[in-house]
Amino acid sequence: MNSYLTVVGAGLAGSEAAWQAAESGVSVVLYEMRPHHPTPVHKTGDCAELVCSNSLGSMNEASAPFLLKQELRNLNSLVIRSADQHAVPAGAALAVDRDLFSAQITRALENHPNITFTREELPVIPEEGPVVLATGPLTSPALSQEIATLMGDEYLYFYDALSPIIDASSIDTSKTFFASRYGKGTADYLNCGMSREQYDAFLDALLKAEKVALKEFEKPVYFEGCMPIEELASRGHKTLSFGPMKPVGLNHPETGERFYAVVQLRKENKEGTAYNIVGFQTKLTYPGQKEIFRMIPGLEHAEFFRHGAIHRNTYVNAPELLGPDFQVKGRPGLYFAGQIVGVEGYVESCAMGAMAGLSGACQILNKPFHLPPQETAIGALLKHVLVKGRGSFQPMNINFGLFTGKETSIRDKKTRNSAIISRALELQKSWLEETGKLNGCSKSSEG
């Protein structure tokens, strides 16, 4: 094993991984291929470049994104500290001046005495660990190929087709019914039946709704991947009612009522606190999704844990490939971090980078590293990544639907969320004390 940590990619995850390890007193060799090898979306050579929005999510203290940022603050996160320092007014969100934000992170990493910063593409996975691969959704083609060879093609995905996820407590279950098609197996799906009139109104609104334009590099992916619901809708009046909204075998189990179309909701977790709308991957804007999907009977007051999306991505099938210690099974010392490990979002990517960086540093320091409890935001994300769930593995952003623990059964939403947050911060505090908070012990001049 090397006496230093190799980190590949200085995006949101790699920057944080390198920082956490370096602040723990470990030497880090950090590779970043930009600006010499650009990606289709990055525009600069700076670290932690925000490729699209300049928002790092909600600052509302009762929200899951706030909790995640708070846990990272408690970990002395370089990314979140730089965001706080370069925040711009954005209502309830933490938005940043993207140039100042990335410039500060770049400076902190370039000047850190424990970091050797190499501006090169690393096309291969280093044999000797520990290594953190944090090369993101646009991993260079050569390295993607290497990863596919190591993992097997079937474990590497190249696009996301995400259906929206709904807070179960916001569904009006008096208008829905549990059933499986033709009564086969257990009645696991929650079904929202539609009359012809309701279907027509829904279709009409869907066709008129505003869509997010596809980027040039996303188009090929789009054609080989799952079709967005609105694209299917545009093919003909009955395409949806013969496709993802087909009603056959789904008459109401008590009344026998037959529907013109049925939208099916599938449990996202064992606890049944979150449901996804089956087959509703979409390029509709977030406000458009709220407006139109709330036309579905039972979803009039739906709260969205995650919006639907379709975009280019590269990520590994983490629950199959990673062990409970976050390392690749059979390859101790090899970590994936950031979006490539199956999380979605800037802050989520940074959190996974922090964990991989700290774990890799502990290996070098020969100290044990325990992942944070599942009741914390970082722990909940790790659980999503490491524990095989229902259906195929898909990237996830932080949301209350990922949390487990007795607080999640509190009925009142406000009380429930505030209990989840208090518990998470309490547990994180104990975890930090137990792990001796490796990072933050040594102070560096920059950052």
Ligand X SMILES: Cc1cc2nc3c(=O)[nH]c(=O)nc-3n(C[C@H](O)[C@H](O)[C@H](O)COP(=O)(O)OP(=O)(O)OC[C@H]3O[C@@H](n4cnc5c(N)ncnc54)[C@H](O)[C@@H]3O)c2cc1C
Closer to ligand X by CB, 241 or 314: give it. Answer: 314
Q: Where are the beta strands (DSSP E) in 237-351?
A: 261-267, 274-277, 304-306, 309-316, 334-336
Closer to ligand X by CB, 119 or 181: give it. Answer: 119
Q: Which of 22, 28, 33, 95 binds ligand X (CB under 6 A)?
A: 33
Decide: 316 and 341 in contact? Cβ < 8 Å: yes
Question: Among the residues of 329-392, which ranges form H helices?
Answer: 346-365, 377-386
Query: How far is it, in rounded angstroms, from Cα 93 to Cα 73?
Result: 16
Query: How far is it, in rounded angstroms, from Cα 205 to Cα 197?
Result: 12
Q: Which of 345, 357, 372, 447 binds ligand X (CB under 6 A)?
A: 345
Surface-to-core class of residue 324, CB atoms within 10 Å of its CB (0-12 exposed, 13-18 middle, 19+ buried):
exposed
Could you say whether residue 415 binds ligand X (CB under 6 A)? no
Closer to ligand X by CB, 31 or 326: give it. Answer: 31
Closer to ligand X by CB, 171 or 316: give it. Answer: 316
Count of Cβ atoms closer than 10 Å to residue 325 Cβ: 15
The sign of the torsion formed by the CA atoms of 358, 364, 365, 370 equals positive
Residue span binding ligand X (CB under 6 A) among the ranges 116-124, 199-207, 362-370, 432-440 = 116-124
Residue of minimal CB distance from ligand X? Answer: 11
Q: Which of 12, 28, 309, 334 binds ligand X (CB under 6 A)?
A: 12
Q: Which of 63, 349, 394, 439 binds ligand X (CB under 6 A)?
A: 349
Closer to ligand X by CB, 40 or 323: give it. Answer: 40
Q: Which of 23, 121, 160, 375 binds ligand X (CB under 6 A)?
A: 121
Q: Which of 32, 160, 230, 268 binds ligand X (CB under 6 A)?
A: 32
Closer to ligand X by CB, 203 or 356: give it. Answer: 356
Residue span binding ligand X (CB under 6 A) among the ranges 291-299, 342-350, 372-380, 413-421 = 342-350
Q: Which of 77, 102, 273, 339 binds ligand X (CB under 6 A)?
A: 339
Query: How far is it, in rounded angstroms, from Cα 224 to Cα 35?
Result: 30
Could you say whether residue 371 binds ligand X (CB under 6 A)? no
422-439 burial: b if 16+ Cβ within 10 Å, else e: ebbeebbeebbeebeebb
Surface-to-core class of residue 156, CB atoms within 10 Å of its CB (0-12 exposed, 13-18 middle, 19+ buried):
buried
From the CB of 233, what's the least distance to ligand X, in Å? Answer: 24
Positions 133 through 172 that interact with ligand X (CB under 6 A): 134-140, 143
Cβ partners under 8 Å of residue 224, min gap 6: none
Could you say whether residue 31 binds ligand X (CB under 6 A)? yes
The sign of the torsion formed by the CA atoms of 214, 219, 225, 230 equals positive
Closer to ligand X by CB, 142 or 410: give it. Answer: 142
Surface-to-core class of residue 1, CB atoms within 10 Å of its CB (0-12 exposed, 13-18 middle, 19+ buried):
exposed
Decide: 211 and 223 in contact? Cβ < 8 Å: no
Residue span binding ligand X (CB under 6 A) among the ranges 20-28, 128-136, 181-189, 234-242 = 128-136
Could you say whether residue 292 binds ligand X (CB under 6 A)? no
From the CB of 442, what's the least distance to ligand X, in Å? Answer: 24
Closer to ligand X by CB, 52 or 207: give it. Answer: 52
CA terminus-to-terminus distance, the chain: 29
Query: What is the three-state SS of 323-340?
Result: CCCCCECCCCCEEECHHH
Q: Where are the beta strands (DSSP E) in 32-133?
A: 55-58, 87-88, 93-96, 115-118, 131-133
Could you say whether residue 9 binds ligand X (CB under 6 A)? yes
Rg (CA), the chain: 22
Residue span binding ligand X (CB under 6 A) among the ranges 107-115, 120-128, 293-301, 378-386 = 120-128
**Binding map of ligand X across residues 40-79, x = CB under 6 A, - = no contact:** -xx--------xxx--------------------------
Q: Which residues bind ligand X (CB under 6 A)?
A: 8-14, 31-34, 39, 41-42, 51-53, 121-123, 134-140, 143, 311-312, 338-340, 345-346, 349
